[in-house]
Amino acid sequence: MLTGDIPPNQTIYIKNLNEKVKKEELKRSLYCLFSQYGRILDVVALKTARLRGQAWVVFSEVTAASNAVRQMQGFPFYDKPMRIQYAKTKSDCIAEAEGVYDPNAKKKKKQEEKAERKKRAEEAQQSAPANGKPAESNGGPTSFRQGNQSAQETVPPNNILFIQNLPHETTSMMLQVLFQQYPGFREVRMIEAKPGIAFVEFEDDVQSSMAMQALQGFKITPQNPMAITYAKKKTLKPLRAELLSRTLHRYPHIEYLDLTVCPRIEDSMLNVVSLACKDALCSINLSRSRKLRLICLKWCLKISDLGVQLLALKCKEIRSLDLSYLQITEKCLPSILQLQHLEDLVLEGCLGINDDGLSTLQQSCKSLKTLNMSNCHNHSHVGLLSLINGAENLRELTLAYGPSVTADLAKSLHNFSGLHSVKFDGCLVKCSGIRAIGNWPNSLKELSFSKCSGVTDDSLSFLVQGHKELRKLDITCCRMIMYDSVDSITSSCCSLTSLRMESCSLVPKEAFVLFGQRCQLMEELDVTDTKIDDEGLKSISRCSKLSSLKLGICMNITDNGLKHIGSRCSKLKELDLYRSLGITDEGIAAVTFGCPDLEVINIAYNDKVTDASLISLSRCSRLRVLEIRGCPHVSSKGLSAIAVGCRQLMVLDIKKCFNINDNAMLSLAQFSQNLKQINLSYCSVTDVGLLALASVNRLQNITVLHLGGLTPNGLAAALLACRGITKVKLHASFKPLIPKSLLGYIEAHGCVFHWRDKAFQPCRF
DNA sequence: AGCACA
């Protein structure tokens, strides 16, 4: 037997210890090592000739000592296997505690023993202990676990652990002793100048997590419970940039990204970097990448003129440069305009750019094709002209939410003969400005006055007569226009492929007939919130290339109109019937028969639509997006049919579909493996349905507000099971009911929680 | 190999 004939004792006796280790360190290390078995009352080690290489560890319980003897037998400690037995006698500190300690009697006894020892020097026998394996992490020091949980909440798992609150005398060997008990241990790193902290590296983050769990709150001294978190990775020097897209999301704390060894950095890789490293990234080294063509610095608020100048100086191949919302001024513009290949320049929201600065520009950029100066308020057409001076290839200009569209502005653009596309969204528009645009010598292909105020029937009618080649026109929310505009648009611009006129609510229903009569090349039509009726739809159905049709809040349309669309628009991919209350199952059925390629449909808030609609929609095998929010008469039966028929389904909104329950979730779990996003708020789905849904591998985004059948535990289980989840919208009342540590764990795996506290809205219907 | 409490 390992312990010889010595009876169990709450003190263990250890021999074969490395004699080179200093006494204090030895004691601390032993304390660290054996604390996993229970509370330690004392560690005794002496360096006298007779007692060196041995030690006693006193536990508060015999069972702890027994476990220690068995499990740590042969454990390699400072390179030597420990030999462990029970101590032969009671330790003084125990005797003292029990009130049986008599120092005088002990002294006497000691002297006697010393004399006897001489006689029996050779008789002393110790049975050699057998070899054992080091302990696995079964049963750690639970009573010591009281780590600083909050510190680890958002740090993602890392194979490196960060240890804080260590007593200053801690050595790396002590920590090694402590951490090497756990599989995968690699090394301990301490920084001399920074006592109290250490980094402990494991093979992988599963193994580091095990060690963290076991040693969280471990006390090297009673005052120092150690706080273990995953180390934050701050610098990264990848060898192959093409793998960044898969790995970078795990390191949101990266501050410095060194891409100098990556041979071929491409623009798309930097896009990946910017998406993954949102807040922390301060520095990126691209010194091998002189050939970058596309650089987007949007919202990089700390980059100013100097940075942009350096960039322009170094990366001469830049084709596309986005400097949106940077605090730059005219100072960096000369170096930008000298870029010989620059084609796209985005200066959105650059408020530091004004007429004074622009007026000093000497350069011109011949290669420039597109310029976006949306949300720039501090310049006029004069400054704009200085900027695009000599840009003879300019094709697209976006001046949304900027200075008023005046005749002066329009005239200053008069001679840019290559201009194809101009966007003035959200600008104040003067009639004289619109008329001046109408006088440009070359026809535009694309024009947007979305949400502009000041667009009148007269001026718009005049404008379109001068731009007969127009393909795309956006007059969303130009609320003053009436019949005449539509008449002029359709008669002048016969090649129109896209017209957006949401909320042009003064246009009479007779006007919509003109589209089918005159603009049969139409592919995209947005007549949301207008007076269009079935006659209009009948006419529009002559546009056989129609691919997107938006009829939300169109109260004058019925199934009859949709039947026309279904009978002739076989290319339809997107149909929006949001709150178009005249539509029933019959209309939907007609569309699904005639438009089998339908990919996106919205029938939200329609109280006449039932499962029959969903069953007919299940024929559309390419359906990707289905919005049936607020349809009280659809149930699990219909949605199950969708799940079976529409395997491409990616986005599903079934908010307030009170009759949809767990059964539909089971069908989705079984068939809809492409589902990425779902809104389940107010449905009759419970823990069971949500957990079933968790098996959909691609699920990234779920909204679960006001689900009566959802419990905190059910939610927690489902969230744990959703491995790829990145965004969860939940009611704030759940927040205190889910363990913080669990939320931290899920967040650490890349999920963002959005807590909403909107009150429960009772059923509208 | 060695069983103490500086």
- Alpha-carbon radius of gyration of chain A: 37
Q: Count of domains in chain A?
A: 4
Do A40 and A84 belong together in one domain? yes
Q: Which residues pair with A227 in a beta bridge?
A: A164
CB A551 within 8 A of CB A528: yes
Gap between the terminal Cα atoms of chain A: 79
CB A404 within 8 A of CB A430: yes
A156 in contact with nucleic chain B (CB within 7 A): no
pLDDT at A316: 84
Measured from Cα to the C1' atom, the residue closest to B5 is A92
Distance, Å, A13 CA → B4 C1': 10
CB A347 within 8 A of CB A353: yes
Do A431 and A496 belong together in one domain? yes
**Which residues of chain A (598-637) touch nucleic strand B at CB < 7 A?**
none
Which of A58, A80, A98 is the endpoint of a domain? A98
* Angstrom distance (rounded) from CA A670 to CA A390: 60
Do A244 and A196 belong together in one domain? no
Residue pLDDT, tens place only, A507-523:
999 999 999 999 999 99
* C1'-nearest nucleotide to the CA of A12: B3
Q: Which residues pair with A626 in a beta bridge?
A: A601, A652
Distances (CA, A) of A385 to A429, A433, A442: 19, 16, 18
Distances (CA, A) of A38 to A3, A60, A218: 20, 7, 11
Measured from Cα to the C1' atom, the residue closest to B4 is A44
Residue with tokens 């330790």: A91
Do A172 and A256 belong together in one domain? no
Distance, Å, A145 CA → B3 C1': 33
Q: Hey, what's the torsion of the CAs at A384, A385, A391, A396, to 10 degrees?
A: 50
**Which residues of chain A (108-147) touch nucleic strand B at CB < 7 A?**
110, 113, 124-126, 128
* Angstrom distance (rounded) from CA A435 to CA A249: 51
Do A7 and A87 belong together in one domain? yes
Distance, Å, A45 CA → B5 C1': 9
| Residues of chain A with confidence (pLDDT) below 70 | 1-4, 117-154, 246-247, 249-253, 263-264, 266-272, 275, 278-280, 282-283, 287-288, 290-291, 763-765
User: Looking at the domain assignment, is residue A427 inside a domain?
Assistant: yes
Single-letter code of the amino acid located at A714:
G
pLDDT at A275: 67
Question: In a 10 Å sphere around its CB, with 0-12 CB exposed, 13-18 middle and 19+ buried, how is residue A497 labelled?
Answer: buried
Which of A249, A268, A285 is the endpoint of a domain? A285
Other CB atoms within 10 A of residue A248 CB = 20
pLDDT at A305: 85
- pTM score, whole prediction: 0.67
Of A432, A422, A435, A425, give the one whose Cα is nearest residue A395.
A422
* Angstrom distance (rounded) from CA A527 to CA A508: 12
* Angstrom distance (rounded) from CA A682 to CA A700: 20
A100 in contact with nucleic chain B (CB within 7 A): no
Single-letter code of the amino acid located at A93:
C
The strand pair at A198-202 and A370-372 is best described as unpaired
* B chain positions with any atom within 7 Å of a protein CB: 1-6
Do A21 and A39 belong together in one domain? yes
CB A72 within 8 A of CB A82: yes
CB A693 within 8 A of CB A678: yes
Do A426 and A492 belong together in one domain? yes
User: Looking at the domain assignment, is residue A61 inside a domain?
Assistant: yes
Structure tokens at A307: 């940075």
Contacts with A458 (C-beta within 8 Å, 6 or more apart), sequence order? A431, A484
SS3 state of residue A395: coil
* Angstrom distance (rounded) from CA A359 to CA A378: 13
SS3 state of residue A451: coil
Residue ranges making up the domain that contains A65: 3-98
pLDDT at A150: 41
Distance, Å, A210 CA → B3 C1': 36
* Angstrom distance (rounded) from CA A489 to CA A510: 14
Do A83 and A35 belong together in one domain? yes
User: Looking at the domain assignment, is residue A640 inside a domain?
Assistant: no
Secondary structure (DSSP) of A325-359: T----GGGHHHHHT-TT--EEE-TT-TT--HHHHH
Structure tokens at A523: 């592919």
User: Looking at the domain assignment, is residue A754 inside a domain?
Assistant: no
User: Looking at the domain assignment, is residue A240 inside a domain?
Assistant: yes
Which stretches of A338-467 are DSSP H helices? Answer: 355-359, 381-388, 407-412, 431-438, 457-465
Structure tokens at A501: 């006129």
H/E stretch holding A30 reads helix A23-34
User: Looking at the domain assignment, is residue A674 inside a domain?
Assistant: no
A353 in contact with nucleic chain B (CB within 7 A): no
Check residue A750 and give left, alpha or beta (phi > 0: left; psi -120 to 50: alpha).
left
**Domain at A169, CATH number:** 3.30.70.330
Check residue A579 and give left, alpha or beta (phi > 0: left; psi -120 to 50: alpha).
left
Of A629, A628, A666, A677, give the one whose Cα is nearest residue A644.
A666
* C1'-nearest nucleotide to the CA of A101: B5
Do A220 and A279 belong together in one domain? no
Do A83 and A17 belong together in one domain? yes
